[in-house]
Each structure stands twice: as structure tokens, then as C-alpha cells.
């Protein structure tokens, strides 16, 4: 087995004028993060380390972004000034928050009568049949449970006596 020896020489990264210019150019084109670092000839780790120790790196990046945005905005404004309607609409929409109005005309020709609506609703009600079941037998303990409409919770039932009254908990 053969081992190859790679010479390791720690690179000293400095914010030279050429490096700052490369960062500026990459940021002006709209690149960010790792793409910006690689386009500027740095590894992402080197770019982060350089930006951490030298504030000129961040300034070059911000200046590049601002100049790129200015160039695009200037081109768009010149196109709008020369008569490009789409460019003018895009400026209005994205820079000034303009939204085209969507108009809907609604007209109601009928008068609404609440009493008439209630009468129609009453006509539509379906009368249903029901059977009142007074006793259901519980097969577990053979007690009778009252399900009639007259005996409610808390009222004594003739079949259950006082067992239908809920007890007060915790007192």
C-alpha cells in the first residue's frame, strides 16, 4: 500500500483588493452565500472566516448588491420611460404596491321579506314521527333507567327515586 504525502500549508486568507473586487462582482450579479464565495475564488469556509475578521468583506458584498439592484432598477425605469407598458406596470406593482382594481357589479332586484322567508322555511319543515321509550333495561345490574322527557337530571324519577340526583363531588 502506498501513502501519498500531501503538503499541508495553512493558507493565510487576507482581504486583498483583488479578492474584495471578486466578492463585489459576484454580489453585483446577485449571488449569495456559498455561490458568492465560490465565484469569488474562495471556499465557503474561507469566505465566512474572512468576513468574520474583516468588515471590508461585508461592505464589498453590500455595495455589490446595491449596485446590482441599482443597475436593474435603472434599466427597468428607462424601459418604462421609453414606452414599455409591462415595465411600467411592474414598477407600479413591485415598488409602489399598486394593484389593479377588480370591479364586480352586484345588483339585487328582489326585496327580501323576513316574514316571507320564515313562512317558506316553515313549509319546508318535515314533520317526523317518534316513539317515546320510557324504560330501558340495563342487563348488567338489572336496574331500570328512566329515559322519559319529564324526568331530567337532578329531578327525582318515580322509577329511580333519589338515585337520579347527582351527588356533589368533593363536599
Q: 94-144: per-residue pLDDT in tens?
A: 777 777 777 777 777 777 778 888 888 777 776 656 677 777 665 665 555
What per-residue confidence (pLDDT) applies to 20?
93
Whether the pLDDT of residue 47 is over 70: the answer is yes
Model confidence band, residue 8 (pLDDT cutoffs 50, 70, 90):
low
Angle at 50 between CA 69 and CA 32, to 5 degrees: 30
pLDDT for res 27: 95
Burial of 19 per CB tally in 10 Å (0-12, 13-18, 19+): buried
The C-alpha atoms of residue 29 and residue 39 are separated, in whole angstroms, by 10
The reported pLDDT for the residue numbered 48 is: 92
Q: Is the pTM of this model over 0.75?
A: no
Amino acid at each position: 500500500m502506498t501513502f501519498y504525502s500531501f503538503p499541508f500549508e495553512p493558507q493565510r486568507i487576507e482581504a486583498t483588493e483583488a479578492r474584495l473586487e471578486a466578492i463585489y462582482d459576484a454580489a453585483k450579479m446577485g449571488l449569495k452565500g456559498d455561490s458568492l464565495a465560490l465565484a469569488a475564488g474562495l471556499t465557503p469556509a474561507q469566505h465566512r472566516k474572512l468576513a468574520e475578521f474583516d468588515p471590508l468583506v461585508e461592505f464589498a458584498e453590500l455595495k455589490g448588491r446595491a449596485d446590482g439592484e441599482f443597475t436593474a432598477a435603472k434599466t427597468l425605469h428607462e424601459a418604462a420611460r421609453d414606452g414599455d407598458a409591462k415595465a411600467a406596470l411592474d414598477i407600479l406593482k413591485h415598488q409602489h404596491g399598486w394593484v389593479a382594481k377588480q370591479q364586480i357589479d352586484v345588483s339585487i332586484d328582489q326585496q327580501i321579506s323576513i316574514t316571507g322567508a320564515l313562512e317558506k322555511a316553515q313549509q319546508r319543515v318535515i314533520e317526523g314521527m317518534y316513539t317515546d321509550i320510557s324504560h330501558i333495561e340495563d342487563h348488567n345490574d338489572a336496574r331500570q333507567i328512566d329515559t322519559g322527557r319529564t324526568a331530567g337530571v337532578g329531578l327525582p324519577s318515580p322509577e329511580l327515586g333519589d338515585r337520579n340526583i347527582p351527588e356533589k363531588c368533593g363536599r
